[in-house]
């Protein structure tokens, strides 16, 4: 009898131990960039843990190190992350190199349809090959490059009069890049509220993607195309077109004549700092930062306004944002897929928007109250309707680094001409595509 009791106790102890281990393992790790939307996601995901009992853990990496950290993890087959919110440009590599789980069967099983998400975000964040019904991510964070401006400065009667006298039209939100330059140059070196101010903070950073994201905001507004639409990877006459050259020259003009001193290697944080500290009348940045700007004690509370990228000879805006993928090397794919399913629900998407995330779900974007829900909501819709993205090729890193060098050398380094920069870029990209077997 004593032996039987001992055996029963051992069995019970083993069952309890296994259960404890199983419970302890019910967590997933999500990787993303360290910025305001990540904080909003942490708050949002508390509901997921309450509903499922699955704990959420996070690794948020500062933007300058984000790509290196995440891509090194993927390329090494690392198991740190179960869910990864990766940049739009990564989707090709994620699919081709097998880093991401293909989600079609899961979507079909759970009744998740990409028809419920805004078409440009599905195309940009989820599909590979582009436009095909092959999905490797759920649209997670819509974003585009846009502009914030000092609404309170624009409203000053003396500045209104001075601008009207100089340009013959009111000081207001610029709708073209010509008007953008007029506003920037108007504020450059001007004394406002007793302090010397400057025109605008734009992207000039060399190391990662900054100046490319900024320059393409101008290029898209001039009608820039990466390739012949009828002949993939045929770039001659497109990458170095007259419009591309003119846009690059215009961007350099703004850099040289309208930016604050020392603004030669600036991206997200530097632009935010220049704007929040009152140095500049406008800044270029991502929509992701506008909730924080709108609440900032110095420039928020109605002092700032927001607008979509201006047009010029065409309509366009630089795409940002990310898709949410399940990492192929994860040992908890089943738990990660539960998170994807939960995140896709309309009520979760509505709360995501309310917390400062940018939903891509049509139920949120098409809601009659959406455009008045935040001061930047209309601009977000306007931008997402005309976004264009950088190459999403598996070799996008090589492609990005080449463009970073060529445009930075011209805009900031003042080397050569815009045409020479774009001609050299075609040479760089041709070499990359040849090595990849595309040419």
Which tokens belong to 408? Answer: 């930075």
Which tokens belong to 333? Answer: 């794919």
Which tokens belong to 17? Answer: 């131990």
Write the pLDDT tens digit of every residue in 152-163.
999 999 999 999
Q: Are residues 329 and 227 in the same domain?
A: no
Write the pLDDT tens digit of every residue in 69-91.
999 999 999 999 999 999 999 99
Judged against a pLDDT cut of 60, whether residue 210 lies above it is answered with yes
- How remote is the C-alpha of 58 from its chain's centroid? 19
Look up the pTM and report it. 0.92
User: Strands 145-150 and 304-307, how do they pair?
Assistant: antiparallel
Judged against a pLDDT cut of 90, whether residue 29 lies above it is answered with yes
Write the pLDDT tens digit of every residue in 408-431.
999 999 999 999 999 999 999 999
Q: Are residues 251 and 197 in the same domain?
A: yes
The predicted structure's pLDDT at residue 341:
98
User: Sorting pLDDT into bands at 50, 70 and 90, what band is 25?
Assistant: confident
User: Sorting pLDDT into bands at 50, 70 and 90, what band is 135?
Assistant: very high
pLDDT, mean of residues 275-301: 98
Per the listing, tokens 């770039």 go with 235
Judged against a pLDDT cut of 90, whether residue 355 lies above it is answered with yes
* Cβ count near 118 (within 10 Å): 22
Write the pLDDT tens digit of every residue in 251-267.
999 999 999 999 999 99
Q: How far apart are CA 250 and CA 194, in angstroms?
A: 30
Instruction: Find, among 167, 216, 158, 243, the residue nearest to 192 by Cα.
Output: 158
Q: Are residues 374 and 422 in the same domain?
A: no
184 in any annotated domain: yes
Q: Are residues 264 and 400 in the same domain?
A: yes
Which tokens belong to 248? Answer: 């690059």
Q: Are residues 341 and 423 in the same domain?
A: no
362 in any annotated domain: yes
Q: How far apart are CA 344 and CA 406, in angstroms?
A: 40
DSSP helix/strand/coil, 273: helix
Q: How many domains in the chain?
A: 2
248 in any annotated domain: yes
Which DSSP string do the residues of 276-323 spell out, in sequence order? HTT-EEEEEEEGGGHHHHHH-TTT-TTSEEEEPPPBSSS--EEB--EE
Phi-psi region at 372: left, alpha or beta (left = phi > 0; alpha = psi -120 to 50): alpha
**Containing structural domain, residue 64:** 27-143+320-388
pLDDT, mean of residues 334-349: 98
CATH number of the domain at 191, please.
Answer: 3.40.190.10
Q: Are residues 359 and 216 in the same domain?
A: no
Q: Are residues 301 and 314 in the same domain?
A: yes
pLDDT, mean of residues 202-225: 98
22 in any annotated domain: no
40 in any annotated domain: yes
Write the pLDDT tens digit of every residue in 37-74.
999 999 999 999 999 999 999 999 999 899 999 999 99
The last residue of one of the domains, among 353, 373, 388, is 388
Q: Are residues 168 and 303 in the same domain?
A: yes
Residue 387 CB contacts under 8 Å (≥ 6 apart), including other chains: 120, 124, 144, 316, 317, 318, 319
2 in any annotated domain: no
- Upper half-sphere CA count for residue 368 (Cβ side, 13 Å): 0
Q: What ranges in 111-241 are assigned the alpha helix state H?
A: 119-125, 151-154, 157-167, 177-187, 210-221
Judged against a pLDDT cut of 80, whether residue 15 lies above it is answered with no
The predicted structure's pLDDT at residue 170:
98
Contact present, 352 and 44 (Cβ < 8 Å): yes
Which tokens belong to 129? Answer: 């090959």
Specify the DSSP class assigned to residue 115.
Answer: G
Q: Are residues 219 and 298 in the same domain?
A: yes
The predicted structure's pLDDT at residue 404:
98
Which tokens belong to 411? Answer: 């805009």
DSSP helix/strand/coil, 266: coil
Which tokens belong to 106? Answer: 């899961």
* Cβ count near 63 (within 10 Å): 16
User: Sorting pLDDT into bands at 50, 70 and 90, what band is 22?
Assistant: low
Residue 126 CB contacts under 8 Å (≥ 6 apart), including other chains: 91, 114, 117, 135, 136, 137, 138, 139, 323
The predicted structure's pLDDT at residue 423:
98
Judged against a pLDDT cut of 90, whether residue 238 lies above it is answered with yes
Helix 396-411 and helix 418-435, axial crossing angle in degrees, nearest 10: 170
Q: Are residues 87 and 188 in the same domain?
A: no
Distances (CA, A) of 166 to 157, 169, 174, 185: 14, 8, 15, 11
User: Strands 27-33 and 55-61, how do they pair?
Assistant: parallel
* Cβ count near 419 (within 10 Å): 16
Q: Are residues 196 and 299 in the same domain?
A: yes
354 in any annotated domain: yes
Task: Tell me the pLDDT of the chain averaged across its residues.
Answer: 94
8 in any annotated domain: no
Per the listing, tokens 């309890």 go with 16
Q: Are residues 70 and 89 in the same domain?
A: yes
């Amino acid at each position: 009898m004593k032996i039987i009791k001992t055996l029963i106790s051992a069995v019970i102890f083993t069952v309890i131990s296994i259960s404890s281990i199983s419970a302890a393992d019910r967590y997933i790790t999500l990787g993303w960039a360290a910025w305001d939307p990540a904080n909003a996601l942490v708050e949002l995901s508390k509901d997921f843990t309450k509903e499922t009992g699955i704990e959420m853990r996070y690794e948020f990496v500062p933007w300058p190190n984000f790509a290196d950290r995440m891509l090194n993890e993927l390329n090494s087959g690392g198991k740190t992350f179960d869910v990864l919110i990766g940049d739009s440009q990564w989707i090709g590599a994620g699919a081709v190199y097998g880093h991401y789980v293909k989600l079609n069967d899961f979507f079909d099983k759970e009744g998740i349809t990409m028809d419920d998400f805004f078409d440009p975000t599905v195309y940009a964040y989820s599909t590979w090959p582009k436009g095909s019904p092959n999905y490797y991510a759920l649209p997670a964070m819509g974003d585009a490059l846009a502009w914030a401006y000092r609404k309170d400065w624009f409203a000053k009667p003396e500045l209104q009069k001075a601008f009207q006298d100089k340009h013959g039209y009111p000081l207001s939100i610029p709708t073209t890049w010509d008007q953008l330059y007029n506003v920037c140059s108007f504020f450059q070196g001007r004394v406002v509220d007793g302090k010397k101010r400057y025109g605008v903070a734009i992207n000039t950073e060399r190391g990662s993607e900054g100046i490319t994201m900024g320059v393409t905001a101008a290029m898209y507004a001039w009608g820039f195309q990466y390739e012949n639409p009828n002949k993939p990877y045929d770039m001659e006459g497109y990458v170095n077109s007259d419009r591309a050259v003119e846009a690059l020259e215009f961007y350099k003009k703004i850099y040289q004549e309208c930016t604050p001193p020392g603004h030669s290697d600036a991206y997200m944080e530097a632009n935010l700092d220049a704007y929040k500290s009152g140095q500049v009348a406008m800044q270029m940045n991502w929509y992701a930062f506008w909730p924080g700007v709108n609440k900032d004690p110095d420039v928020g509370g109605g002092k700032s306004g927001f607008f979509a990228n201006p047009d010029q000879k065409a309509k366009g805006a630089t795409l940002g944002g990310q898709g949410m993928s399940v990492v192929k090397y994860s040992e908890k794919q089943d738990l990660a897929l539960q998170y994807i399913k939960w995140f896709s629900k309309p009520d979760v998407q509505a709360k995501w928007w309310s917390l400062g995330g940018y939903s891509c779900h049509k139920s949120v974007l098409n809601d009659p109250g959406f455009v008045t829900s935040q001061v930047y909501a209309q601009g977000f819709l306007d931008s997402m309707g005309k976004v264009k993205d950088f190459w999403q090729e598996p070799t996008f890193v090589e492609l990005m680094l080449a463009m970073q060098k060529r445009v930075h050398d011209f805009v900031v380094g003042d080397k050569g001409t815009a045409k020479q920069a774009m001609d050299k870029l075609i040479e760089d990209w041709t070499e990359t595509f040849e090595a990849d077997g595309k040419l």
